[in-house]
Structure 1
Amino acid sequence: MGNNNIAGRAQYVAVAALLTVALASCGVIAEQARPGGGATAAPTPTAALTPTATPSPSAAATPTPGAGPVCTAVRCTSVLVTGDMLVHAQLWQQAHEDAVAGGVKGLDFGPLLEGQRRYIEQSDLAICHQETPVAPPGGPFSAYPSFNVPPQIAAAAKAVGYRACTTASNHTIDQGTEGLTRTLDVLDAAGLEHTGSYRTLAESRGILILQTEAARIAVIAGTYGLNGQAPEQPWQVDMLDAPAMIAKAKEAREQGADIVLAAMHAGDEYSSAPNAQQLQVAHALADSGQFTMVYGHHTHSVLPVEKYKGTWIAYGLGNGVTELSPAYVVNNEGLLLRAQFSQDSAGRWTASDVAWAPSVIVSAPYRWCSVAADAPQGVCASPAADADTRLRTKQVVESMGAVQAGAHELLVTKDR
């Protein structure tokens, strides 16, 4: 493991303190959603409803190379995405131990995520997936099958560099409307923008559009299901519905989005190949011509990357963070994916560079760790285990022609 970035750790402490104060002052802990799923008094995130009204970049504008690889176009921007942020009891116990060690009050998830910082810093925008609802800061907490996890994970995600999170998953309403609302309030307090679940009907009609120096990037999410549960209102969670997602993408384009991403929460758990639903929906989204890239999570395993009719699809990014599974080794692995988007002379944006880094969760202490060939954090589990993880991930990622289409491993130590 690398040493924690001192400035980043200070930022984490500041954000965590701000989150605690914001939750207390807003009464998030005691809030109850109105009957029928109405919103509480929590503020509505501006970006989700009113995208920044700046002109769309034109070919005549100042060149903007963006972060990441060398930009061969006039304008580039890079987006980093990761898989499920799935907090279990072992992780919040680790966060307690790290808080004690660091002199931080409460829970400190910063060290767990710290390895991702270097990748995020070399990207223009980083998006995580908050799979589960969060509890009040002091709990009670619960894990599978009905999650209610520590909210301090949001402050850690913000501090390490994430700017937004998707929230549509099969666990979104594990704690009902109250848990859904509390989760969005916590993300707001941490300074993380979000999409995929909503407090109000008006909020559900908004589209998350995120501005980088070069482009406006819309994110549209959907989940295959809710574990047999039903939300109080159908608009509370975005479902995996190709026509509805395409309609949102068209609206995003009308609002000035240059790049539109689809985040699919779907697939067969612990599989190494996409299922029929994933293929059908992803291909329908690509065929619409409205999406610049499609990516997914949920299976708790890495899935292939494919370039389908010119559109990149990463079917499954595995786990961003999770506890170690004694039964499924793939559960402990993940894929960090960074796409650089370039604007051509006609003003069209496409993914010009797609790169991925394999990762693994290690314990004692629990940490996210990259097992990419350049080993930016050193040895993760052991030299042999790291090599096995990297090979297993590489074989799956490349099983649908990713290499031939131009995707490659992300060596963060060799960027630029």
Structure 2
Amino acid sequence: MGKVTPLRRRLSAAGLRAVATASGLLLLLGGCGVIAETDARNTGSSAAVPVPAAPVPTPTPIPTPGKGPACPELRCTSITITGDMLVHTQLWQQARADAAAAGRPGYNFVPLLEGQRRYIGSSDLAICHQETPVANPEGPFSAYPSFNVPPQIITASKEVGYQACTTASNHTIDRGTEGLLRTLDALDAAGLKHTGSYRTEAESKEILMLKTPAASVAVIEGTYGHNGQVPEYPWLVDELDPAVMIAKAIRARALGADIVLGVMHAGDEYASEPNAQQQDVAHALVDSGQFTMVYGHHTHSVLPIENYKGTWIVYGLGNGITELSPWYVVNNEGLLVRAQFSQNSAGAWRASDLAWAPSVIVRDPYRWCSVASDAPQGVCASPAADAQTHQRTQAVVESMGAAAAGAHELLITKDK
């Protein structure tokens, strides 16, 4: 029979507690997780029968409506995107004046961006586009055609609420690898996440994953070129290659991304419609089934919004900030877009709301200003000029059927 263990010895000495049932005896072996059933007609044998595990309750998703419009499902998240942060000489002169007015040294870009804060605060995540490299805090600075701008634009972006910025553009390597690295260092120091340019080849293979209370968001960017320059290493800046972007999106999904944003830095400057490259790349990204939304910048003008096979494509956000151009009025205008995404009962995420707000840059002092119909900042340039900007922007935005597909103007003063 073998050696009797101490546990068996104690059980034999104490006896087994028996409970009579209609069909036999259930011998309860306390703490063992097994019930031994003995037939009343044959008390000399027993067979171990596993106790069925208690059913594990299906976890109930926690309602997470997110910021922004009313959530049509149990879980939603909203993302705000804006166009090029393009700092010219006039803007850093304004930032220096604003710093001096506050009794501070250096450059303060927060007043320039302040009008965006309310919009950013109405979303769970806000992503900017840092168009150019930044210099050291005291310069030297330069504007077009080879930018090297005050890094305080990055700290101001963080101050008004942005959590991340894309960095791949035709100006990314204006100041070579050194300028690229300096920009990434400034973003890190400010606490802004980033993607589009990289310090190392290993870093270039990583995917920017951002968390909101309800979702994990991946951001994948590419630029059409570098103004004839060649990066020191091929992995320094993400290129506008749909096959590469789709491969990254597949990896992002495997890593747990709920929402994947494709970002294009491309197009014809000052245009009012997307070019063939933009449409081909955007449609390829959507056709892959891996992207939840696609958007772009670079043209320094607002471009249409398209709903392609149920997926939103925002072709061009215009300028987030810029100087006032005396030649191209569209250069002075921009588009802020807030997209709400909701998760249905099957677990899939989709865009459930897309809203846009037109903007303009004004001067004396230089400021970003919304010309949305609810005029949250009051009059920007003049009532007539604001109306013209609004009309021009709306006509372009809706020229590819966006309104019929459900895109609408964002009236921030009407938000919940």
TM-score, normalisation: structure 2? 0.86
Superimposed CA distance per residue, residues 7-39 of structure 1 (whole angstroms, 9 cap, x where no aligned partner): xxxxxxxxxxxxxxxxxxxxxxxxxxxxxxxxx
Which residue is 1:402 aligned to?
402
Q: Secondary structure of 1:359's match?
A: strand
Which residue is 2:97 aligned to?
97
Which residue is 2:138 aligned to?
138
**Paired residue type of 1:120:** I
Which residue is 1:164 aligned to?
164
Which residue is 2:297 aligned to?
297
Alignment of 1:69-148 (within 5 A): 69-148=69-148
Q: Secondary structure of 2:398's match?
A: helix
**Paired residue type of 1:238:** D
Superimposed CA distance per residue, residues 330-362 of structure 1 (whole angstroms, 9 cap, x where no aligned partner): 000000000000001111001100000000000
Cα distance between partner residues in 1 of 2:188 and 2:387:
39
Q: Secondary structure of 2:260's match?
A: strand
Which residue is 1:263 aligned to?
263
What's the offset of the Cα at 1:59?
A: 8.3
Alignment of 1:369-384 (within 5 A): 369-384=369-384
Q: Could you say what the CA RMSD is over the residues aligned between the two structures, in angstroms?
A: 0.8
Contact kept, 8 Å, 2:361 with 2:368, in 1: the verdict is: yes
Pair 1:167–1:129, CA change in 2 (3 A): same
Q: Secondary structure of 1:202's match?
A: helix
Q: Secondary structure of 2:399's match?
A: helix
Which residue is 1:278 aligned to?
278
The percentage of aligned residue pairs carrying the same residue is: 76
Is structure 2 residue 62 aligned with structure 1 residue 62? yes
Which residue is 2:307 aligned to?
307
Which residue is 1:332 aligned to?
332
Superimposed CA distance per residue, residues 210-263 of structure 1 (whole angstroms, 9 cap, x where no aligned partner): 000000000000000000100111000000000000000000000000000011
Is structure 2 residue 357 aligned with structure 1 residue 357? yes
Q: Secondary structure of 1:185's match?
A: helix
What's the offset of the Cα at 1:104?
A: 1.9
Cα distance between partner residues in 2 of 1:66 and 1:171:
35
**Paired residue type of 1:119:** Y
**Paired residue type of 1:297:** H
Contact kept, 8 Å, 1:126 with 1:162, in 2: the verdict is: yes
**Paired residue type of 2:223:** T
Contact kept, 8 Å, 2:87 with 2:149, in 1: the verdict is: yes
Superimposed CA distance per residue, residues 109-155 of structure 1 (whole angstroms, 9 cap, x where no aligned partner): 00000000000000000000000000000000000000000000000
What's the offset of the Cα at 1:103?
A: 1.5
Q: Secondary structure of 1:111's match?
A: helix
Contact kept, 8 Å, 2:301 with 2:334, in 1: the verdict is: yes
List gaps (5 residues or longer) in structure 1.
Answer: 1-57
What's the offset of the Cα at 1:60?
A: 2.9
Cα distance between partner residues in 1 of 2:142 and 2:374:
37
Q: Secondary structure of 1:236's match?
A: coil
For this pair of structures, how many residues does the alignment match? Answer: 359
**Paired residue type of 1:194:** H
Contact kept, 8 Å, 1:325 with 1:331, in 2: the verdict is: yes
Which residue is 1:181 aligned to?
181
Contact kept, 8 Å, 1:324 with 1:362, in 2: the verdict is: yes
Q: Could you say which structure has the higher helix fraction?
A: 1
Which residue is 1:348 aligned to?
348
TM-score, normalisation: structure 1? 0.86
Contact kept, 8 Å, 2:72 with 2:352, in 1: the verdict is: no
Contact kept, 8 Å, 1:59 with 1:345, in 2: the verdict is: no
What's the offset of the Cα at 1:61?
A: 1.2
Cα distance between partner residues in 1 of 2:68 and 2:326:
36
Q: Secondary structure of 1:128's match?
A: strand
**Paired residue type of 2:310:** G
Cα distance between partner residues in 1 of 2:119 and 2:252:
28
Contact kept, 8 Å, 1:84 with 1:321, in 2: the verdict is: yes
Superimposed CA distance per residue, residues 26-74 of structure 1 (whole angstroms, 9 cap, x where no aligned partner): xxxxxxxxxxxxxxxxxxxxxxxxxxxxxxxx98311000000000101
Q: Secondary structure of 1:281's match?
A: helix
